[in-house]
Every structure is written in structure tokens, then in C-alpha cells.
Structure 1
Amino acid sequence: MTLTEQTGLEFGRRLRELRVLAGLTIEGLAEASGVSARAISDMERGRSRTPQPRTVAALSAALGGDTVLGELAKAGRETVTTGRPRMCDLPRRSGHFVGRDDELAAIGKAFEEAASVTVVHGQPGVGKTGLAIRAAELHRELFPDGCFYLDLRGTEPGGGASAGEAQTVLLRALGVSSRQIARGDEERGGQLRAILGQRRCLLILDNAGGEGQVRGLLPGAGSAVVVTSRRVLGGLEAVRRIALAPLPAPAAVELLGGGGGNDGEIARLCGYLPLALRIAANLHDPDRLSDADRRLEMLTPVEAAFAASYAQLPETARTVFRRLAHVPTLSFSAAAAAVVAELDRYDAEDVLEKLLDRGLLQPEGHDRYRFHDLIRLFARARLRAEEPAAVRRRGEKRLIDWYLDTAIASGRVFEPAYGSAPEQWDPAQAWLQAEVDGWFGAMRRAAAAGEHQRVVDVAESLHWYSDRTYSVDPWSAVFTLSRESAERLADRRQEVVHRNYQAWAMSFCDGRYPETVEQAMAAYAMAVELDDRKEQAAALIYAADAYAQMGERGKALELMRRSLELADTVGDHDGYVQTLIGIGATLSGMGRAEEAAEQYRHALQEAARRPLAPAPEFAARVAASVFLTHEYARMERWNETVDAGREALPLAEKFGEPHLLGRTHLALGLAHRARGDHAAARAAFAEAVGQFRRSQVTTEWSAQAEVLHNVPHGPGDGPLFA
């Protein structure tokens, strides 16, 4: 490619960028400027001769007046008269720059060194080029010998500029005549390093496609370099890397610039990507972005940026990428990718790393990956365009079945009939927690497809597991979905069970106590009709819990004792022990600590005496032990608090529910403080605060832990227990 062709392409890219930012089609710009649509199209594609000054002036006037006129006129004059490679001047940034203070500070610190190379990498449209140019503008004084910009075009078909072409352009920009430029790549690289080593320059190497494009352009000393790439460029050594993420929400709203009340939603729909935000700011009706099927169509340059990275992928990677659109959540594991792509786990991981390297995925902790939501829309579009409907249906069904089957198998580990030891629960719990968005999304898709028994089966298998994560997982939505599916099956026995589960979630997870009572008593009436005494007992205990939370503890005790009698009558030993614990909690709320402690001790005795299944027996021992420790602390029986806490703590740690762990550490901290062991008290209060924060639930105990964690621990600190 000649220098004239290069400058023509640069002019065309700039013209197209300004047209898109103005919200104009080619036809619209033709009408506004008087220049033919065919001529504008040829200019944007770099297919035409250099435009005449009057053409540049007409286009500039249509695109915004004097400011734009000056830039386009300069581009035209340089292209026509000098042939100087326009790409080696710093391009003008589009619009104002917001955010990125930490990244700018990191690049600025690197500039202060004698020689530095910084790689800014991230997904298409995230603002890598804008960041590099802004950094150059802020620190021009550090580079008295000039700042030079070169677009390596690494995302273009064929990989863009070769190392030799790039060396030649840079040497010309640095004042070396054509006759003096060495012929071989190695010799040109040495020549470039020698010149840069004697000067203090800044090179911005934009859009690098790989290490090979960059390595021969790096100075050994003297000058600084900023490389932008969608790839990490892990093969480059002794470089700083800055992984650029989408903008924070406030900066994204600022970039929109309109200050409208809906800017926050528009920023979200743009995925906080600077490129998308700049386009949205110029749309006549940005609210239309809410249409997911048309969003990328309205953000054409964004889609084009994604398409360039997609086109460079090997066929297997393209297949995996588009099929990942089947995943019902933005975050997923390598195992899910292997299922949807029909690959083994190791091959899937290799492909995911390629997608990560190209900026088409983001890492999310160990063994997990995440789509940007706009890239996911692009993957979905490619899936629809490139795979037949029958293939798409099979792929989605395969993935949804995997999520649901694995959720059922994992949830059954916690069922009463399951005989495993608690130590074997951890893998199942880890999968359920990591994949919660996936298996719940799969449940919703199964319900939408009319697979109602599957939905009920998944929720049923997770019933006992739900007790362990009631403070963090979406159980109200899960059991609402399963109750609705049971209704559609017209199976009243399943419906009453899942109506009870929904009542539990309304109370324990959402705190919707009046609705809980209504739901639980509707389940009770249905259970009476069916003569199902076990479900009658369950409905009464859920209603009682809600009454207790609303302060009607007398009513709660009445219902609990009725529930206890029913559970005993039908031999529901698991329910019987759980109800004893509920009675203890109600008595505790009434200030009857000694009676509450007696109920917890009774529950522990009955759990040991009655034939409980392993899972509920363990859950009962955990709850009763933790609550007993709590009651001893309330009564300021500190030695018993410590003894009970030492038994409760390992059980609570194995159970893994953070709120119960927080309560145990809080009680132990109070006991240690009262007994004068202030170091142990401080450690216990700190652990309590950490666990309560993990639980994401604010209670009187979590508030007290925060206070105690932040006060001195010595004699006369104030009340020991709220």
C-alpha cells in the first residue's frame, strides 16, 4: 500500500466516523452537502482519488461547521500536496474525554521513565485508542521530539500492516528519506531503534493484531511506547499491561452529555462502552436501544468492531463463540461451554482462552468467563445467521438439560434420604452457588417451554439446600416458578408442597410477612382438603414464623404447638425437631431466654433420639447449637456461652450459612470480652462482621457486631447484649 493510499484510507475512516457521530446515513450526508452518495461511499472505502478542497469544505460544513472543517481540510491538503503519512500525527479525539483517572496515572508514571512500553488491551469499543491519545495530550512536554501515531490495522483481514511496512512509515515520519531506509526488516528495526534511542519520542501503536507486528517497532531506550490491542500480547516481555474495562456508570452517563433522566438506562443498554455511548449521544431517539434485536443495528460501528475480531477466529472458536449465546446468563464456566459446543473440557478451555485473548470474553475469577452484554447480542446474531433453527434448538436443549440435570443431582445431596456425610456436600454446594444464574435461567426457559414437571423436580431437589443459602440466592423466585408450574400441571399434591416452599421463601428470604401468612394458610386449607397432615404442619410453621416476625408471638406459639402435634402424629421427625427450634426462637423473641434455651436443648436431644435423616439432622444440630449459644450470651452465662459456642462453631462452619456463623462469632466475642480476653473478643467481632456482610442481611445482630467491632474492648464498654 502506498503512502497516498494510506492517507486516503485514513481520510475515509475519519469521514465515516464523523458521519456516524452526526447520525447521518450516506444519503443524508449527500443531501446535506451536495456531494453525491456514490462519491461519499468511495471516499469512505478509500477507493477514490484525493477529494478537492471544495468537496472537503462542503462535507465539513454538513458535518458541523468550522471545527470539523479545519480538521478535514488539513487532512485533504496533506494527502494531496505532501503525501506525509497522516497516521503518524496524533488524531483528533472525538468528543470530550471522561474517567480513566487511574489508567492515565499509570501511563503517566510509565512515561516518566527513560524507556517504557505500555500495552492497553481490552474488548472492541472499550476506548483503548482514546485513552492512549489522551495520555499523549496530557504529557506532550515529556516528548520534545514528537508524538507519533500509527494504526497497525491488526483487526483487518490479512492482519493489517506488516512489521516492515510499519517500520518504513515510522522512519519516514521521523525524517528519514526513502533512499536512506534500510531494505530488510531486521536492518530497518535496528535503524528505528537507533533513532528512537537518541530522541525522546512517544509512539502510539494502535490496533496491534499480535506480538509480531509490534516487536520490531519497540525502542531499546530513550522513547516511550503505548500499544493498544484487543489481545493481551502475552509474548511481549518487560511491558506494563493495562486491562481496560467498560466505563463506570457515572462516567458513562457523563459521556452521553445530555443530562437526561433516562441517561442511566441508555448507558446500561450501551454496556458502558465509550464507542457505543458516543454513537448513542448522537441518535435522534436513543430510547430505541431498548429493543435488543435492533440495538446492534443502531450501533453499527460497534457491530463492525466485533465482526472484525470474530472474522479472525478459527472456525472452531467461531462455533463456540456463537453457541455460547445459548447460555442463559452472561457468566458461565468452561464446563458449560464444553456442553454447548460439544467439546471435551480441555478443548473448550483452549478455545475460551482464545476468545479471552481476542477481547470477546472477559475473565471472571477461576474457571469462569463473562460476556459483555453487547458482545452477547452479537454472538446471538451470528448464531441466528449461521446455524439452522433445528441445530440451534438442539444446542439450547442440550445446555438447558445439563443445567437442570446437574442442579437436580447436586440438590439431592441435601435431601433427607441422602446418606452422605456433610464433608461430601461441598462440591455440590460449590456448583450450585457458582452456577445459580445458569440453573435458574434454565428453569425459566423450561417453564416457558411448558416443561413444568422438570421445573417442579428441580425445585423439589433444591428444597433442603435452600436452607443453607436463604440470604443470598433467589429462592422466592425459584419457588414461585415451581408453584406456578405445579398449578399448570393440575397436581394439587405437588401444588400444596410448593405453595409451602413459596411461603417459606417469602418469609425467610424476602421478609414479606403478611403475604407469607396468606400463602401459608392457603396451603394449609389445601392440605386439609387433601388430608395431608405433614403439609398442614409445614403450612402452620411457616405462618407462625411470619406472625412471630410481625410481633404476634402469642399467635405464633399457638400455631407452632399445633404444628408440633401434627408432625408427631404423622411421624414427621424432621419437621418435629425443626418446630422445636422454631418454638425456641419465638420464646427468645418474647424475652423468655431460659425457656428458649430449654427448647434448644430439647431439640438437640430429640435430634439424637429420633430417626432423622442425615441432612435434616445435621441442619437441626447446627441451628439448635447456634441459637443455644446465643441464649446463653443473652443470659450472660459466659462459661456456658463459650462451651456451647465451641461445639456450635465447627458445625456452623461446615454448614456454611454466613448469618449463622456471624451469630456464633458475635456471642463468643461477647463472652471473651466479659471474661477479659479482649484480643479474642476483637478477633471474634471482626469475624462476625465479615460473616454478616457476606450474608447481605441486616439484622439487630449484624448491626451490633459492626458497633462492637469499632469500639475499644476493655472494662466498662457498655451493654453486653442487645
Structure 2
Amino acid sequence: METSFGDRLRALRRRAGLTLEALAEASGVSARAISDMERGRSRGPQDRTLVALFDGLGLGGAERADLAAAARAARAQNASGRPRSGEPPRGVSDFVGREAESKLIAQHADGAGTGRMAPVVLIHGQGGLGKTALALHAGEELRARFPDGRCYLDLRGMDPTPLAVGAALRRLLQALGADPGRIATSEDEQASQLRAILAERRVLLLLDNAADETQVRPLLPGTGTAMTIVTSRRTLAGLEGVLRIGLAPLADAEAAGLLRTIGGATSRSASDTEIGTVARLCGNLPLALRIAGTRFASRPGWTMRHLIDRLADEERRLANLTAGDTGVAAAFALSYAQLTGPTATLFRRLALIPGDDFTAPLAAVLVDTDHHHAEHLLDDLADLGLLQAVGDRYRLHDLIRLYAAECLRTDETRPERDAARRRMLDALIDTAITAGRWYEPGHGAPPGHWRGLDPLDTQDRARAWLRAELSNWVGALRAAARDGQHQQVVDIAESMHWYSDQSAKDGPWHEVYQRSRTAAAHLPDRRQEITHINYLAWVLIYLELRYADGVELAMQAHRMADEHGDAKGEAEALWLAGAGWARAGDHDRSLTAIRRAIDVADAAGIHDACVQYLVSLGTAYKLAGRTDEAVDQYRAAIQQAQVRPMSRTPRLVALSTGHNGLLRTLTQARRWPEALAEAPATLTAVQRSGSVLQLSTTHLLIGLTYAGLGMRDAARAALTRALELNGSMVQPDPETTEAAESALAALDVPDDNGPAPPTL
């Protein structure tokens, strides 16, 4: 009859004349562990423990080999026996993606058995991201590295009453083979027993769906050869020495791959565009993708277009992302149920925010509190995975936003919703107008008593707010238009007049001025309507290069201005029409219109506009190929900008555009020494104006000038700076990019004449 490992160990100990305590002292293995081995209550020991026993017993080569073989047989018998409590549930057979996360987990497993603390990995994130699926997948991938098995426990962290610590400890101890009769009664002693067992086994613990740190901490091993993977919707920030892996939605390619895998044969006829659209509507969320793919696969008569049409309806999207007892909304509801009153209220109302992301001050307005309290509430939401926090900004996943909107409709009254929405829109509109007015003549810094979403105490801060909150203040503009708040729409657009000139490539100016033109038509002041027609004409001519359309609109404004005796509107319309004709190649009409605009503005004493038109006349001469006249005109315009009584921002803009136009003309004419002499003044003027687009262009022109003079190192530095500045804009200017890159390439080719003139 074959002798078991426990019997052999007991026989060898007695032959050596050692008690349990004596062998424990000689080997360093606890007496309890040796007793469990001898009675067959624990698995065969791992190699490190076995070597310690060999040494403690003073065994030679043959006896060592014999006992080692018995230990391996014991482990194998245990592993191949009937299923034990704690076996992991069935994972998914079509696991896709998460390669980087899986690699991190595998690398962290290398720390098991190195003498340091046993490695612990926490996988956290919102519901539906596939945390459990990743944990089970990683456990399967690591199976060979943990021959003593894997032990799974659902901690029920999202239940109204999560699994108690004592119950969790007992289940783990029993799953690991501990004698139920010898399990301690206190939680501290149970935790000590668990650590003692795990110290000698290569076991992978999978602790799924953890509630908090208090629940998890007693379950973790100390030193030894075990490893633990924990999943939780919370970040469990109080746990130390843990590798945290925060899951995000799948990458586009991974999401598409998962959809095609689940969809099976029925998805083969779908185009990449259709698959990508479904993935986007699912927010690349694994749970949503699985449900969508399953629904598609189970309906052979459907095309991918059927699925797209159903998911496109935002009010029904969550309902369509339900299959059997599984649903995206149900997954989110578990987290929502964890929220306290104020946090739940804020979560619901975040669905009202129009933009892609937001900061604490905007969230504070929704619940009528200060931003410090709002930060605490937002941190609670982020900790539970209902928000994504990046720096000081927060973002809702698209599907969570839809769920929050559902909660808002069902859990709050219409007056409560409307009041919160009105406070938020008014705050956005007021702050946007105040920020834009930093650039407007006669405005600047807000008054000391003003309180908004940002202090806006400097122009740089105003610019930063307008850029960061672009999707929010434009969303507020759209909401005002939908609500028929025509004067608010006009006020927002009017406040952006000079800011839009300096941020031409960084804003949705067509939409802004199209909406303000429409809104102004509903108001009684026709001069206001003329102004906003001209603003839209500016967008068409200067930003969209739609010269004919822009000129037609400008001439419409001119006719209205003439009818209503609006000298300012008439001059601006003539200037815009002249600019459009100049760029379209109709130089005679262009020069006539711009000269007329100058005369009208000068006669009316509109100095800000008059100097701007003087600069434009220089541009019209340049486009007509009349270089000497263009140079003279730019210099005259710069001189007038220095002596006329102008507002600060228009003066800065006139000086920057005048100097930039002069430098451009000299560069294109290859008048390199004159261009080099003009460069410092241009750079100073453009830097003062704050226009990143013009600053990028100026560095491009300076780089071309250096290249023309054979100063290649200086040219490279200036051209590289031009590319950096251009790339920093929301919408980089492609012509600047092309010209700078071409000039840099040309520097490597000998050319006595310097690079070709820019085509900007």
C-alpha cells in the first residue's frame, strides 16, 4: 500500500527523535503547519518549505528525493480531485483586448515568493468595464505559476449588505483546506491563520467586487508565495503596497474586435464603419458591447444598421442595451444605490452639463453649494467609478450620462430640474461674456464684486477658461438659442468679437455668428442685426475662404446699413467686401471698397475700425502684386495705430497685423535685410496681442528670413518654434505646417537663393 506524504513525514520525524515543536524549531516551519501536513489536512508543501524540512530532518539524497516525490503526488492528487469551494466561476471564452493590463498583472506576479510582501493587484473602475473578466482571464493565464490553485470569493461589495469580514475569512480558510473545527473565533486570529496558510502556498486569490478597504485588508497575505487580485468599483485608496490598474473603455480597435467576435458569422457582412458606429454608441464599454453583439447575433434577420438605428435613440439606448437578466443600466444602478443624498443629487444633475467635461465650480452651481463641497462630492463619484477624473476636470462616460439623465427625470420634479439647469446656463453665459469682454474695447477685467465660475483676473486666465470650457459655453449658447433667449445669444457672440479675431482657428465661430445673426433678426434693433451679419461675413471670408458667399453677405449688410444710416455697419461691410474681392483676385473693386470703408470710418470718427481698414488696404496692395505700395501702406497703418485715440485691444490687433503683414510682404519679396530689420518689432507686437496663430506665422516668416540670409541654425530654431506654436492650437493651420516643414527640408539642400517664398 502506498504511503502518503503525511505518513512519511511523521515516520521520518519520529525516526529522528523530534517532536513537532523540535522539528519546527530546526526547520523554521510552524508546528501547526507540520501537524496539518502529517494529518493530510493541507496540500503537499512547496519546494521552499520542503527544503527547510529536509534540512531540519537531516535527510540525505535518496530520502530527499523520496519525500519530494510524495509531496508532488500529494499536490497533484489535491489538484485533480473533486471541485473545491472557492473555485473561480466560468470566464468568457472570447476575451478581447486588455493586453497592457494583462502584461502588468503578469509582471507583478514575479514578486510572489521573493521574500517581499506578497503581490496584490487592484483592478478598479466603473460598472461594465469587465473587471471580473480581466481578473479571471489573468488567473487563467497565471494558472501554471500558482500550482496550489486559485481561490475565488465574491465579496458582494455592491450588495446592500456586503459579505462580512468574518464570513469571508472563514470561506477562504475552508476553501484552502483548513479544518472547520480549528478555525479561530476572532477575526484577527482568522486573518492570522489565513496569512500562515498563504505564506507556504503558491495560491492565487481572486477577491471580486470588494466594498472597501476594511473588508479587503484582513484577507490579504503577508509575505510568501501567494498573490491576490482584487476587483472593485472603488479605488480603495487606503490600501498600501497595491498595484492599481484603473480600467478605461476599450480602445476603438479592441471594441470593434469584440463586437465582431460576439456577432460571429452575422457580423461579417457589416462594414468597419458600421461596427465602429455601434462601438461608439456603446461607449466602447465591454458590457454594452457584449449585449449589443449578443442581440445582433441572436437576430439573423438584422443588419448592423438595425442595431445602429435602435442605439441611436438616446432615450431608448439603455433599454436596448439589456439582454435577459443583464443590462448596462442595472450595472450602473448598483453604484447609484451606494450614493448618499447630496452626492446622488449631484450625480443626476451632471447630466445637464452640455460639454464633454467640467470642473468643480460648474458642478457646484448645479447643487447650489461652494466648489470645495462640490469637490468632495465629485471625489466620491470618481472613487465609485461613476466619474473619470483627469487633473481638476471630470468626465462622465456617455452611457453613464444617459443613466444620470434617466435618474434625473424619475427622481426629481420638473421645477427642480429647470431651476438647476437655469442656474448652470446663466453661470456659463455670464462667465463666457465676462471672459470675452477682456478683449473688448471699454471692458477688460471684471469688477471686484463679480463672482463667476472663474476669477478671470487676467486676460491669460480668461483665454484659458474660454479654451478649456469651449464645449460648455458653446453648449450654453445653443441652449439659449433653443430657449428663444435671443438677447443672450447676441450678447455672447458680441463679447467674443475681438477674442474670435485672435483665436480664429480655435473656435466654432461660424456656429456662434450664425446663431447670433438669427437671434438678432428676432430683436428690434436693426443695427445689431447688421453687426452680426458682418460678423458672419468675416467668418466666411477670413476663416472659411468662401469669398463669394462672404461678399454677398457683406453687401446685404451694406444695403441695410445704408437704409438705417448706420455708418459703422456700412464701413465694416465695405471693408469685408473689399477683403473678399482682394482674395478672389478682383483687385480694383477691392481697393475701391476698402478706401471707401476708410473714408466712412474716418468721417464718423471710428478710429479703431479705421486703422484696421488701413492695415487691410496694405494687404489688398500685396495681393494685387503692388509690393512697394503694400510696404508703404503697412508702415502708414502702423504709424496711425500709434497716434490715433484707439482702444487697447484694437490697437494691439492693428499693430500685430500691420507688422506681420509688413514682414510677410518683405519676406515674399525676398527683401531679406529689410525683413530681418522688421522682425524684432513684429515679434514684439504679435506677442503683445496674444494671438498664437499670428505668433506661429511670425516665427515662420523669421525662419524664412534667416534661411534667405544663409543663417541655417537660426532658421531651424525659428521654423521649429513655428511648428510648436501651430501644433498647440485646437485647430492647427495646415498652411503654416506645410510651409514650415518644406522650409526645414529645404535647409538640407544647398540653395544660394534661399527657400521659396511662403504661400500663406
Do both proteins adopt the same fold according to a TM-score greater than 0.5, normalized to the shorter chain?
yes
Q: Look up the SS of the partner of 1:369 in the other structure.
A: strand
Instruction: Write out aligned runs for 1:211-610 (5 A).
Output: 211-220=213-222, 221-257=224-260, 258-259=267-268, 260-261=270-271, 262-283=274-295, 284=299, 285-286=306-307, 287-300=309-322, 301-364=327-390, 366-418=391-443, 424-610=458-644
- Which of residues 200, 203, 215 is equivalent to 1:201? 203
What secondary structure does 1:332 align onto? coil
Secondary structure, counterpart of 1:150 in structure 2: strand
C-alpha contact (below 8 Å) 1:676/1:714 kept by paired residues: no
State the distance in 2 between where 1:117 and 1:146 align: 16
Question: Which runs of 5 or more residues in structure 1 are unaligned?
Answer: 1-80
**Matched residues in 1 for 2:582 and 2:165: separation?**
74
Deviations 1:134-172 (A, max 9, x none): 2223332222222333222211112x1223222222222
Q: Distance between the aligned counterparts of 2:684 and 2:209, measured in 1?
A: 54
CA distance in 2, matches of 1:380, 1:583: 54
Do the aligned partners of 2:743 and 2:755 also contact (CA within 8 Å) in 1? no
Q: Which amino acid aligns with 1:565?
A: D
- What is the alpha-carbon distance in structure 2 between the residues aligned to residue 229 and residue 245 of structure 1? 14
Displacement of 1:369 in angstroms is 0.9
Query: Is the 2:106–2:142 contact (alpha carbons within 8 Å) kept by the matching residues of 1?
Result: yes
Matched, 1:721 2:724: no
Change (3 A) 1:608 1:381: same
Contact 1:537/1:562, CA 8 A, preserved across alignment: yes
1:147 aligns with 2:172: no
What letter is aligned with 2:239?
A: L
Please tell me the residue identity of whatever aligns with 1:118: V
Alignment-derived partner of residue 54 in structure 1: none
| Alignment partner, residue 169 of structure 2 | 167
**Kept in 2: contact 1:597–1:631 (CA 8 A):** yes
Provide the C-alpha distance between the structure 1 equivalents of 2:535 and 2:247, rounded to a whole number of angstroms. 44
* Superposition deviation, residue 650 in structure 1: 4.0
Query: What do residues 52-89 of structure 1 show as CA deviations (whole Å, max 9, x unaligned)?
Result: xxxxxxxxxxxxxxxxxxxxxxxxxxxxx98943xx33
* SS of match in other structure, 1:206: strand
**Distance 1:566-1:219 versus aligned 2 partners, 3 A rule:** same
For the Cα contact (< 8 Å) 1:119–1:241, is it kept in 2?
yes
Letter in 1 for 2:225: G
Distance 1:137 1:547, change over 3 A: farther
Return the offset for 1:654: 4.2
Give the letter aligned to residue 348 of structure 1. A
Query: What do the CA deviations read for 1:594-651 (whole angstroms, capped 9, x no partner)?
Result: 4333222212111111111111111111222223233333344445434433233344
Give, in whole Å, the separation in 2 of the partners of 1:443 and 1:147.
56
Q: What is the letter of the counterpart of residue 164 of structure 1?
A: G
Deviates further, 583-592 or 405-414: 583-592
**CA 1:472–1:370 in structure 2 vs 1: closer, same or farther (change >3 Å)?**
same
Separation in 1, partners of 2:498, 2:408: 38
Matches of 1:145 and 1:708 in 2, distance apart?
65
> Which stretch of structure 1 is more off in the superposition, 453-462 or 551-560?
551-560
Q: Mark the CA change 1:180 to 1:720 in structure 2 (over 3 Å): closer, same or farther.
A: farther
Q: Which letter does structure 2 place at the counterpart of 1:116?
A: P
Are 2:349 and 2:408, in contact at CA under 8 Å, matched by a contact in 1?
yes
Distance 1:553 1:371, change over 3 A: farther
Q: Provide the C-alpha distance between the structure 1 equivalents of 2:381 and 2:671, rounded to a whole number of angstroms.
A: 60
Structure possessing the higher radius of gyration over alpha carbons: 2
Could you tell me how far apart the structure 1 residues matched to 2:587 and 2:146 are? 76
Asked whether the equivalents of residues 408 and 457 of structure 1 are also in contact (C-alpha less than 8 Å), the reply is yes
Decide which moves more: 381-390 or 245-254. Answer: 245-254
Q: Secondary structure at the match of 1:460?
A: helix
**Greater mean deviation of Cα atoms: 280-289 or 422-431:** 422-431
After alignment, is 668-677 or 245-254 more displaced? 668-677
SS at match of 2:700: helix
Q: Which residue of 2 aligns with 1:192?
A: 194
User: 2: CA distance between counterparts of 1:509 and 1:274?
Assistant: 41
Deviation at 1:687, TM superposition (A): 1.3
CA 1:588–1:233 in structure 2 vs 1: closer, same or farther (change >3 Å)? farther
**Is contact 1:324–1:337 with CA below 8 Å preserved after alignment?**
yes
Q: Which digits, 9 at most, give the CA deviation of each residue in 1:289-327, with x for residues without a partner?
A: 211112122224211111111111121111111122221
**CA deviation vs aligned residue, 1:380-414 (integer Å, no higher than 9, x gap):** 11111111111111111111111111122222221
Deviations 1:230-260 (A, max 9, x none): 2222111122222211112232222222252
Q: 1:711 offset after TM fit, Å? A: 6.2
- Cα deviation for residue 538 of structure 1 reads 1.2
Change (3 A) 1:82 1:101: closer
* Shift, 1:279, TM fit: 0.7
Residues 191-200 or 120-129, more deviating: 191-200
User: Residue type of the partner of 1:707?
Assistant: S
- The separation in 2 between residues aligned to 1:685 and 1:223, in whole angstroms, is 57
Deviations 1:17-51 (A, max 9, x none): xxxxxxxxxxxxxxxxxxxxxxxxxxxxxxxxxxx
The one-letter amino acid paired with 1:293 is E
Distance in 1, Cα, partners of 2:189 & 2:512: 67
Q: Are 1:670 and 2:704 matched, yes or no?
A: yes
1:158-193 residue CA offsets vs partner (Å, 9 max, x unmatched) = 2x1223222222222222232233322222222222
Whether the 8 Å CA contact 1:163–1:216 is kept in 2: the answer is yes
Q: Give the alignment of 1:11-22 within 5 angstroms.
A: none
Structure 2 portions without partners, runs of 5+: 1-80, 113-117, 261-266, 300-305, 447-455
Q: Closer, same or farther in 2 for the Cα pair 1:652/1:358, shift >3 Å? A: farther
Pick the aligned partner of 1:98 from 67, 73, 96: 96
Query: What number of residue pairs does the alignment pair up?
Result: 638
Q: Does 1:692 align with 2:734?
A: no
Which residue type is aligned with residue 317 of structure 1? T
Cα distance change on mapping 1:657 and 1:90 into 2, 3 Å: farther
Match of 1:111 in 2: 109
Q: Indicate the larger mover: 526-535 or 273-282.
A: 526-535
- Matched residue SS, 2:120: strand
Give the SS at the match of 1:282: helix
Q: Report if aligned partners of 2:707, 2:747 keep a CA contact under 8 Å in 1.
A: no
Q: What letter corresponds to residue 703 of structure 1 in structure 2?
A: E
Give the 3 Å change call, closer, same or farther, for CA 124–651 of structure 1 in structure 2: farther
Q: Which position in structure 2 is the counterpart of 1:28?
A: none
Cα deviation per residue 1:404-440 (whole Å; 9 max; x = unaligned)?
Answer: 1112222222111226699931222222222121111
Distance of aligned partners of 1:164 and 1:263 in 2 relative to their CA distance in 1, 3 Å threshold = same
Structure-2 separation of matches of 1:511 and 1:649: 26
What secondary structure, in the 3-state scheme, does the structure 1 residue paired with 2:219 have?
Answer: coil
Distance 1:708 1:214, change over 3 A: farther
Residue 706 of structure 1 and its aligned partner are, at CA, apart by: 2.1
Aligned in 2, Cα 1:507/1:197: closer, same or farther, shift over 3 Å?
farther
1:417 corresponds to which letter in structure 2? G
